[in-house]
């Protein structure tokens, strides 16, 4: 009998392969958008509700990651401050716009919106309002999954329909991918693995583009490396007034 660990591994590898095969061009487009923003000293905001908020956490203050990342980690949309509340807040009209303004989203910035289903009010509103504020938008979503769902927002749109760059994370409907014999509900979700692969790929390509242009990328280094405190302190001072969680 093949273990569930092996089955899960095989499915994750297959999905990562699909992303690699089908989304490299879109990841490249996204990295171009991010690189151009950083050249102009702009901020990269990352927003998602529920578990999608973890993508912002992954990108923020990360060794080897960009310092200009502003994760919009509001307590009301993250599951560790109330799972049912987080789900309910995704449907509140106007809430995403309030958070974007609170985080100072402005013209020339980039807003990465993460939502696998891509149909609720919060992510769609976040993308639309970011565009109205003059920011470029990148959406990470499951296009096939989303297309099978009816929009649950006042705009009647899906995330992939309202952003400048779409990256399909290829997450299957329902997110969980394993069937356990004798149990009717699938287990083992894959969205976080795929989403973090995508955003770290965007970061890597962004840094490569900046280096090729002779621009010094603002990248955190591990605090355990020599000279890290002084180096990171300079980045902290540069961005502390524009990134709330710093």
* Domain around 84: 4-239
Quick: pLDDT tens for 132-157.
999 999 999 999 999 999 999 999 99
Q: Which of 3, 10, 41, 80 is nearest to 239 (CA)?
A: 41
Quick: pLDDT tens for 37-79.
999 999 999 999 999 999 999 999 999 999 999 999 998 888 8
Q: Is residue 76 part of a domain?
A: yes
Q: Is residue 11 part of a domain?
A: yes
Q: Summarize the confidence of residues 223-233 as an average pLDDT.
A: 96
**Whole-angstrom Cα distance, residue 182 to residue 200?**
37
- 3-state SS string over 189-220? ECHHHHHHHHHHHHHHHHHHHHHHCCCCCCEC
- Look at the chain and report how many structural domains it folds into: 1
**Whole-angstrom Cα distance, residue 124 to residue 132?**
13
Quick: pLDDT tens for 164-215.
999 999 999 999 999 999 999 999 999 999 999 999 999 999 999 999 999 9
- Kindly report the CATH number assigned to the domain that includes residue 49: 3.40.50.10490
For the record, the structure tokens of 233 come out as 């302190």
- Look at residue 44 in the predicted model and tell me its pLDDT: 99
Q: Is residue 246 part of a domain?
A: no
pTM for this one? 0.97
Q: Is residue 114 part of a domain?
A: yes
Q: Is residue 163 part of a domain?
A: yes
First to last CA, the chain: 49
Strand partners, 165: 138
CA angle 180, 185, 188 (to 5 degrees): 65
Question: In terms of C-beta density within 10 A (0-12 exposed, 13-18 middle, 19 or more buried), how is residue 34 classed?
Answer: buried
For 242, other C-beta atoms within 10 Å of its C-beta total: 16
The pLDDT mean for the chain works out to 97
**Whole-angstrom Cα distance, residue 26 to residue 12?**
20
Quick: pLDDT tens for 98-119.
999 999 999 999 999 999 999 9
Q: Is residue 192 part of a domain?
A: yes
């Amino acid at each position: 009998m093949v273990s569930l660990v092996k089955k899960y591994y095989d499915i994750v590898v297959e999905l990562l392969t699909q992303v690699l095969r089908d989304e490299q061009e879109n990841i490249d487009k996204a990295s171009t958008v991010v690189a151009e923003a950083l050249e102009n000293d702009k901020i990269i905001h990352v927003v998602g509700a529920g578990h999608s908020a973890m993508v912002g956490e992954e990108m923020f203050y990360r060794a080897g990651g960009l310092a200009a990342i502003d994760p919009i980690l509001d307590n009301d949309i993250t599951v560790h401050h109330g799972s049912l509340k987080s789900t309910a807040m995704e449907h509140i009209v106007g809430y995403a716009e309030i958070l974007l303004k609170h985080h100072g989203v402005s013209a020339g910035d980039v807003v990465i919106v993460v939502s696998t289903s891509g149909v609720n009010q919060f992510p769609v509103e976040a993308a639309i309002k970011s565009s109205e504020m003059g920011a470029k938008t990148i959406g990470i979503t499951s296009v096939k999954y989303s297309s099978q769902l009816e929009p649950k927002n006042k705009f009647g749109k899906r995330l992939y329909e309202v952003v400048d760059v779409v990256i399909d994370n290829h997450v299957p409907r329902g997110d969980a991918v394993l069937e356990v014999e004798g149990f009717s509900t699938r287990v083992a979700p894959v969205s976080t693995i795929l989403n973090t692969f995508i955003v770290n790929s965007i970061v890597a390509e962004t840094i490569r583009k900046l280096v090729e242009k002779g621009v010094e990328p603002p990248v955190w280094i591990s605090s355990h490396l020599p000279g890290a405190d002084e180096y990171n302190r300079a980045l902290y001072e540069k961005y502390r007034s524009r990134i709330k969680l710093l």
